[in-house]
Structure 1
Amino acid sequence: MSTKHLKKGDAQPAPPEGGKLRLYSMAFCPYSHRARLALAAKGVPFDIVNINLLDKPDWLTSVQPQGKVPALDAGGGQIVIESLDIADFLDGKFPEPPLWPADADTKARHKKLIDDFGKVTKIFYEAVYGKEKRPLGEYLEEIVAALQPFEDELVAGGNTFFGGTRPGMLDYMIWPWAERAKVPSIINKHEMNFPKDKFPKLLAWRDAMKEEAAVKAQAVDTERHARFSSAYVDGTLDYDSV
């Protein structure tokens, strides 16, 4: 996956050819990662324009007035923003394979779990980017509590994935942080000893997700994620040399 990021002074790319969708992204952004996973899972032809978010090109606001990523150019002047809205849009426009469960109750439960996963992302960002560092054990204790409902959901479902026999919306929407799970340990130079015996289903899910084609196609190495986060924290970030 290309990680070249366009910045101020770079020309706006020509429209994509052949009816492709275009995703304005950032290679290390987990929310852009969500959108890339949804596109890859649908098998939709698309191209990626990565944006340097510290030095944005002037033309970006003509695409997305807030200058945010991810932003999906769906053609015909339609721009979809926010990772969950992009994934929902794609699931409606390209029905196969479906990402949401067909059962209404399961879908509602999975939507709530995606919303609740915000507790995990909040702890993750505090552990990586927070100015007032706490002992990693405190972050770990909070993450373990926040992840318990996800272990319980996999146990209740009886399948490898939240989506059943293959990944679905919940799987893809939480995966970006699973891919980055080792970053707090690397950044803080201290291992977070995740209690493996407490989460056998989630650990099996993690291993299975790593083998999925969409996940492999959009993966970034853990060490690169850590280098990005470290450089962001210490103010030395150069997107294209991470």
Structure 2
Amino acid sequence: MTRPLLYTYRRCPYAMRARMALIVSGIAFDAYEISLRDKPAAMLAASPKGTVPVLVLTSGEVLEESLQIMRWAFEQGFEPWWVGAQTPSNQALIALNDGAFKQQLDRYKYPERYVASEREMHRDQAVRGLLQKLEQRLAADAYLGDATACAADLAIFPFVRQFRAVDEAWFDAQALPATQKWLQNWLQSELFEQCMKKLPTNQHVIFSS
């Protein structure tokens, strides 16, 4: 294997942030777009947990977590992106995003899996828990790396995108102008366009950005 191999799923926010980190870092990699109903045996052998993203390095080492993949990617040559995410405030935002916000997002997006009558409660908790804190940060600076983007932006953006997609009109009507602008900037970025290119399912292909 001459390039790292990323097992991925286009719409998964964890896989999105891994792909974006690899693209930003300029790392040539292969990709395997999985089918959730027919996961490849090679991926399951490398990572029995069965979820994406999974990055298999040319050495055979397996990285099974998206933040682990991001760190590895940025340490290959774009380390300032990773360093910018290590401030206490950014670490707190990432932990909140991956913890309580993700739980609330799932309950808001998939009410049929949980208690449907509590959907709006979880939506509002997500706003108070993460989005208002994000708004305070972004009202002062364009990115979470202050004047420049960093890994924290990429780690959080896919989940805010998913939250907005549940009800775009409602999200856009909220008093979150800095967060809305930040989100739109990422949605309209060349990086996101490259990240979201469609790949054939269940095929090992060269990822060309």
What's the TM-score bracket when you normalise by the shorter of the two chains? 0.7 to 0.9
Q: Which runs of 4+ in 1 moved over 6 A?
A: none
Specify the alignment match of 2:179 in structure 1.
202
Provide the identity percentage.
24
In the TM superposition, what whole-angstrom CA distance separates every residue of 1:152-175 from its partner, at most 9, and x where no partner exists?
A: 1223xx321112333211110111
Does the 8 Å CA contact 1:140/1:194 hold for their aligned counterparts?
Answer: no
Specify the alignment match of 2:193 in structure 1.
216
Specify the alignment match of 1:98 in structure 2.
80
Equivalent residue for 1:126, pick from 107, 120, 123: 107
Aligned length: 196
Query: Aligned in 2, Cα 1:144/1:65: closer, same or farther, shift over 3 Å?
Result: closer
Trace 1:57-76 onto structure 2 (pairs within 5 A): 57-76=40-59
Unaligned runs of 5+ in 2: 203-209
Moved more, 204-213 or 72-81: 204-213
The Cα RMSD (Å) is: 2.6
The residue matched to 2:171 in structure 1 has which SS? coil
The residue matched to 2:163 in structure 1 has which SS? coil
Does the 8 Å CA contact 1:136/1:192 hold for their aligned counterparts?
Answer: no
Specify the alignment match of 2:133 in structure 1.
149
Which of the two has higher C-alpha Rg? Answer: 1
What is the one-letter code of the residue matched to 2:171? F
Equivalent residue for 1:36, pick from 4, 7, 19: 19
Does the 8 Å CA contact 1:196/1:203 hold for their aligned counterparts?
Answer: no
What is the one-letter code of the residue matched to 1:48? A
TM-score normalized by the length of structure 2: 0.81
What is the one-letter code of the residue matched to 2:123? L
The residue matched to 2:82 in structure 1 has which SS? coil
Q: Is 1:138 matched with 2:121?
A: yes
How many Å apart are 1:135 and its aligned residue? 5.8
Equivalent residue for 1:167, pick from 132, 139, 149: 149
Equivalent residue for 1:177, pick from 154, 159, 167: 159
In the TM superposition, what whole-angstrom CA distance separates every residue of 1:20-42 from its partner, at most 9, and x where no partner exists?
A: 22101112221111111111111
What is the one-letter code of the residue matched to 2:106? Y
Equivalent residue for 1:52, pick from 27, 35, 41: 35
What is the one-letter code of the residue matched to 2:89? R
Q: Which has the higher contact order (CA 8 A, sep 6+)?
A: 2
Does the 8 Å CA contact 2:18/2:53 hold for their aligned counterparts?
Answer: yes
What is the one-letter code of the residue matched to 1:179? R
Query: Aligned in 2, Cα 1:182/1:205: closer, same or farther, shift over 3 Å?
Result: closer
Higher helix share: 2
What is the one-letter code of the residue matched to 1:122? Q
Query: Aligned in 2, Cα 1:199/1:78: closer, same or farther, shift over 3 Å?
Result: same
